[in-house]
Structure 1
Amino acid sequence: MNHRTTQRRTFAGGTLVFAAALVLTGCADSDSSDSAKAPELKVSGAYIPAPTMADMAAGFFTLTNEGGADKLTSATSDLAGSVTLHSTKGGEMKEQKSFDVPADGHLDFATGGNHLMLEKLRHKPKQGEKVTLTLHFEKSDPIKVEVPVKEATYQPPQHDTSHDSH
C-alpha cells in the first residue's frame, strides 16, 4: 500500500465517522426536543353515574394534554378498594395496564369506550355526592379530581367540533 492510498482511506474513514456522528446527534436532538417537552395535563367533564350495584361504579372524564406525551398508569379513590383502567372495543370490555396520553392531544373516558371501574365500594355513592379520584402518570405528578355523581342515565353534552379551528 502506498502513502496516497493510506491517506485516502484515512480521510474516507474519518469522513464516514464524522457523518455518522452528525446523523446520530441530529436524531438525539430531535428525540430530546419531543421528550423534553413536559406534559401539561388537565381533566375536564369528569362524572360518575349513580351506580346501580352496591359494590361497583364507573368513572368518565377527558384528559387534555397541551405538552409532551405521558401515560396514565393507574387511578385510586378513597371510595373504592380498587380502581382499574378499562377499554371497550366491539362491545368487549378489557382491563388495561395503562393508557397513552398523546402529546398535544387528549384521552377520552366515555360511555361505551375507555372508563375507570371503581370496585369494592366502601359505600354506594348517591347523586349529588363528590368522589375524590387521583390519577397517576408515568411522568407527571398525580392529579386529584373531585368527581360529581350524576343520575344513572346522565349523558354529557356533546362537544361540537364542526367549528373548531385546526
Structure 2
Amino acid sequence: MNARTTRTLAAALSLTAAFAISGCSASSDDAAKPTMKVSGAFMPQPVNDKMAGAFMVIENESKTADKLTGVTSTLSDDLQIHETKDQKMQQVPSLDVPANGELKLARGGSHVMFMGLKSTPKVGDKVTVELRFEKADPVKVELDVKERTYNPQASAPTDGNAH
C-alpha cells in the first residue's frame, strides 16, 4: 500500500465511524421521546349528534415534557382541545403534559370536544380516538361510553378538604 491508499482508507474508516456514531445518537434521541400512558378514558353518552366530550388522564412516563396537540376519530371530523379558565370554556392549540407528570382531562376542566358527530354512541359502546403529541408517538385510546351523569371523581375517595 502506498501513502495515498492508506490516507484514503483512513478517511473512509473515519467517515464510517462518524456515520455509526451519528446513527447511535439518532437512536438515543428516540429513547428520549416521551412515553404516554392513558387511563380512565370515557365519554358521557351524548344527548344528540351535535357534540360530546371526552375525559381521561394522560401520564407522561419520561423526563421530557410534551404537549397534547391534536385528537382524531372516525366519530367526528372536528375534534377540539378545550380548557376551562374562569368558568369559561375555550379552544386551545395544545395542553401541556409535564415530564414525569400527568394531564387530567376532567369534567369542569380541560377536555376533548367532538363537534358534529357522525353518529350518537350509546352507553356500553366504545369510541376510538388517536391522541397526537408534539414529541411522543400518537396513542390510540378507546373511550368507554358511560351514563351522562358518570363522574369518576365523585366516586373517588376524598382527602376531606373542600375544593
Quickly name the TM-score band, shorter chain normalised.
Answer: 0.7 to 0.9
Residue 52 of structure 2 is aligned to residue 80 of structure 1: no
Q: Which residue of 1 aligns with 2:118?
A: 122
Q: Which residue of 2 aligns with 1:105?
A: 101
User: Looking at CA atoms only, which structure, 1 or 2, has the larger radius of gyration?
Assistant: 1
**Counterpart Cα distance in 2 of 1:153 and 1:140:** 33
**Contact kept in structure 2, 1:76 and 1:135, CA below 8 Å:** yes
Determine which of 52, 66, 89 is the counterpart of 1:93.
Answer: 89
Residue 151 of structure 2 is aligned to residue 138 of structure 1: no
What percent identity do the matched residue pairs reach? 48
**Contact kept in structure 2, 1:128 and 1:150, CA below 8 Å:** yes
Residue 36 of structure 2 is aligned to residue 41 of structure 1: yes
**Counterpart Cα distance in 2 of 1:148 and 1:97:** 25
**Contact kept in structure 2, 1:71 and 1:99, CA below 8 Å:** yes
- Alignment coverage as a number of residue pairs: 127
Q: Deviations over 1:38-76 (max 9, x none)?
A: 312100000000011222100000001110111110001
Give the direction of change, closer, same or farther, for the CA distance of 1:48–1:103 in structure 2 (3 Å limit). same
1:100 Cα deviation from its structure 2 partner? 1.1
**Counterpart Cα distance in 1 of 2:145 and 2:131:** 17
1:146 Cα deviation from its structure 2 partner? 0.9
**Counterpart Cα distance in 1 of 2:68 and 2:156:** 23
**Counterpart Cα distance in 2 of 1:102 and 1:161:** 24
Q: Note the residue ranges of structure 2 that are not aligned, 5 or more in a row.
A: 1-30
Q: Note the residue ranges of structure 1 that are not aligned, 5 or more in a row.
A: 1-35
Q: Which residue of 1 aligns with 2:149?
A: 153
**Counterpart Cα distance in 1 of 2:136 and 2:144:** 24
Give the direction of change, closer, same or farther, for the CA distance of 1:130–1:94 in structure 2 (3 Å limit). same
Q: Which residue of 1 aligns with 2:56?
A: 61
Q: Deviations over 1:78-119 (max 9, x none)?
A: 001210000012210010000111001000000000010011
TM-score (norm 1): 0.72
**Counterpart Cα distance in 2 of 1:160 and 1:103:** 26
1:160 Cα deviation from its structure 2 partner? 4.8
| Structure 1 ranges of 4+ moved more than 4 A | 157-162
**Counterpart Cα distance in 2 of 1:70 and 1:102:** 6
TM-score (norm 2): 0.73
